[in-house]
């Protein structure tokens, strides 16, 4: 670039400066459109102007900014439908899984980005307070995300600095971790925590443990998360085949869990979602007993979403229902 001496431009820690002044003046100039009006007179004939070809045969200046911003979203009527099961199963006394779903679709002229928050936490069995850990983790994470993403989204302003989404998700899991750890510093309660946030067309994930997130789209059923389990690690280094892994006696051993230390390493990830598809989040009470092929088969049946959630639950129960069973299904059209 043109500047080669940034020495004097040392980055400092000044707080974010409110952009109000510039926003206001920008808005003012956009409203009276002074600049645009004079310039557009000079524009080449409309038919030859590729801008105009792409964006309707009318002068750009007559369209309000806001309708243009939201146009692609309004045209599609996006939606996210949810069905879930969060069940104790057949053998356990207590449901130590927690799930949380929150979907917001604000339609109308001033539409807001579709927002879908899905959380699954699987409290550790054998430890005294697994159910408490999963509850604290899922709620703490959800509150942080609502405060730092959903509420700013509703405020719908360009003002101030909005924390990067991946950072918010990571902080949410760290907060959940701290909350579980501090709630129970003496005992070994812990939980998995998988957070999926759909914002607009982008999926953001933060993940610790062996609960799973799958995406079914364009004829592909793929796992999004990586288990932080010993059995997965053994497969990664070629010491176990997937078949052996199914019957592996240490399948329950986690390498990372929320609430075990004052900090936890969090996997974060994002991707653009296809226009339509399904997400499946589950605890190992489902994925540990029902094969991926069978889960996929259920998701591809010509039945309602509720019936699919039911079929997934039944499949895990048919295998004995040895663990708590959680399945969160999302059918999206974005």
Partner 1 sequence: MGRLTTRQLPGKQGRRKKATAKIGLQPGDMLQERYRIVGVLGAGGFSSVYQARDMRFPNVTKLCAIKEMVISAPDPKIRELTIQSFEREASMLAMLDHPAIPDVSDYFTEKDRSYLVLDLIRGKDLDHWLEEQMEPLDQERALDWAIQLCDALGHLHNQKPSPIVFRDMKPSNVMLDQHNRIRLIDFGIAKIFEGGNKGTMIGTEGYSPPEQYRGLATPAGDVYALGATLHHLLTRQDPRLEPPFTFAERPIRPLNPTVTPAFEAIIMRCLAYDPKERFANATELKEALELLASAAPASREAPPPVLNQQETAVAPPAPKAKSTPTPSGSLVQPLWVFKCEDEIRSKAAVTETRVLVSVYDNNLYAINKEDGAFVWKYPTADGVGASPCVYEDTVFIGSSDTMMYAIDLRTGRKIWHFETNGSIYSSPTARFEHVFFGSDDGYLYALNVKHGRSAWKANAFSAIRSSPYVDDERVFFGTEGGYIYCLELSSGKTKWQAQARRAVTSSPTFAEEIVFVGSLDGTVYALDAATGWAVWRFRTRRPVISSPTVHEGVVYIGSSDGSLYAIDLNSGRQLWTFDTDGQVNSSPAVWQDAVYFGSTDGHIYCVSCKRGELRWRYDTGKPVISSPTIDGGIVYIGSTNHHLYALLA
Rule CB under 8 A: which of 250-309 touch partner 1? 250, 252-257, 260-265, 267-272
Q: How far is the CB of 194 from partner 1 (least distance, A)?
A: 10
**Of 174-203, which residues contact partner 1 (CB under 8 A)?**
185-188, 190, 199-202
- Give the binding-site size for partner 1 (rule: CB under 8 A): 97
For 124-190, the DSSP string reads: PTTSTTHHHHHHHHHHHHHHHHIIIIIHHHHHT---SPPPPHHHHHHHHHHHHHHHHHHH-SSS---
Is the Cβ of residue 200 or residue 294 nearer to partner 1 in the bound state?
A: 200
* Binding range to partner 1, per CB under 8 A, among 134-142, 155-163, 284-292, 325-333: 155-163
Is the Cβ of residue 23 or residue 303 nearer to partner 1 in the bound state?
A: 23
Residue 52 binds partner 1, judged by CB under 8 A:
yes
* Binding range to partner 1, per CB under 8 A, among 80-88, 236-244, 292-300, 309-317: 236-244
Contact between 16 and 161 under an 8 Å Cβ cutoff? The reply is yes
Q: How far is the CB of 303 from partner 1 (least distance, A)?
A: 29
Q: Assign 3-state DSSP to the chain and report helix, strand, coil percentages, each to 5.
A: 40, 25, 35
* Binding range to partner 1, per CB under 8 A, among 18-26, 81-89, 139-147, 214-222: 18-26
How many of the other CB atoms lie within 10 Å of CB of 265? Answer: 13
| Greatest Cα-to-Cα distance within the chain, rounded to the nearest angstrom | 77
* Binding range to partner 1, per CB under 8 A, among 80-88, 248-256, 286-294, 300-308: 248-256
Q: How far is the CB of 120 from partner 1 (least distance, A)?
A: 15
Is the Cβ of residue 44 or residue 218 nearer to partner 1 in the bound state?
A: 44
Contact between 154 and 220 under an 8 Å Cβ cutoff? The reply is no
Q: How far is the CB of 82 from partner 1 (least distance, A)?
A: 22
| φ and ψ at residue 58, rounded to 5 degrees | -145, 155
**Of 58-77, which residues contact partner 1 (CB under 8 A)?**
60-61, 63, 65, 68-69
**Of 121-150, which residues contact partner 1 (CB under 8 A)?**
124-127, 130
Distance CA 196, CA 225 (A): 10
Which structure tokens are listed for 9? 């431009």
Is the Cβ of residue 56 or residue 301 nearer to partner 1 in the bound state?
A: 56
Is the Cβ of residue 244 or residue 307 nearer to partner 1 in the bound state?
A: 244
Contact between 215 and 276 under an 8 Å Cβ cutoff? The reply is no
Q: How far is the CB of 219 from partner 1 (least distance, A)?
A: 21
Annotate each residue in 73-112 with x if it binds partner 1 (CB under 8 A) or - if it does not, as one string: ----------------------------------------
Residue 46 binds partner 1, judged by CB under 8 A:
no
Let me know the angle formed at the C-alpha of 255 by 179 and 90, rounded to the nearest 5 degrees. 80
Which structure tokens are listed for 95? 């449901």
Q: Which of 47, 75, 238, 243 binds partner 1 (CB under 8 A)?
A: 238
Residue 237 binds partner 1, judged by CB under 8 A:
yes
Distance CA 284, CA 288 (A): 5
Distance CA 172, CA 266 (A): 10
Nearest to 127 by CA among 191, 175, 205: 191
Contact between 85 and 313 under an 8 Å Cβ cutoff? The reply is yes
Q: Which of 76, 167, 222, 318 binds partner 1 (CB under 8 A)?
A: 167
């Amino acid at each position: 670039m043109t500047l080669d001496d940034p020495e004097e431009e040392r980055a400092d820690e000044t707080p974010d400066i409110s952009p109000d002044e510039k926003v206001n003046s920008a808005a003012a100039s956009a409203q009276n459109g002074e600049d645009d009006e004079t310039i557009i007179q000079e524009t080449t004939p409309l038919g030859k102007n590729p801008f105009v070809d792409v964006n309707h045969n009318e002068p750009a200046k007559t369209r309000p900014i806001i309708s243009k911003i939201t146009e692609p979203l309004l045209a599609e009527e996006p939606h996210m439908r949810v069905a879930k099961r969060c069940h104790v199963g057949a053998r356990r006394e207590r449901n130590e899984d927690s799930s949380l779903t929150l979907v917001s679709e604000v339609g109308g002229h001033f539409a807001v980005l579709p927002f879908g928050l899905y959380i699954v936490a699987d409290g550790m069995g054998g430890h005294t307070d697994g159910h408490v850990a999963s509850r604290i983790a899922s709620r703490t994470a959800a509150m942080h995300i609502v405060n730092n993403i959903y509420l700013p989204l509703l405020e719908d302003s360009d003002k101030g600095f909005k924390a990067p989404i991946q950072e918010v998700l990571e902080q949410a899991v760290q907060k959940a971790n701290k909350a579980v750890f501090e709630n129970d510093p003496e005992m070994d309660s812990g939980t998995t925590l998988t957070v999926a946030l759909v914002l607009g067309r982008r999926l953001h994930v933060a993940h610790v443990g062996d609960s799973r997130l799958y995406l079914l789209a364009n004829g592909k059923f793929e796992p999004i998360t990586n288990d932080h389990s010993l059995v997965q690690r053994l497969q990664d280094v070629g010491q176990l085949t997937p078949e052996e892994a199914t019957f592996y006696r240490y399948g329950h051993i986690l390498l990372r869990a929320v609430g075990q230390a004052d900090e936890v390493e969090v996997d974060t990830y994002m991707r653009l979602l296809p226009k339509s598809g399904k997400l499946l989040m589950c605890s190992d009470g489902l994925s540990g007993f029902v094969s991926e092929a069978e889960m996929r088969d259920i998701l591809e049946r010509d039945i309602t979403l509720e019936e699919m959630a039911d079929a997934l639950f039944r499949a895990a129960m048919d295998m004995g229902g040895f663990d708590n069973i959680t399945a969160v299904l999302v059918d999206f059209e974005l």
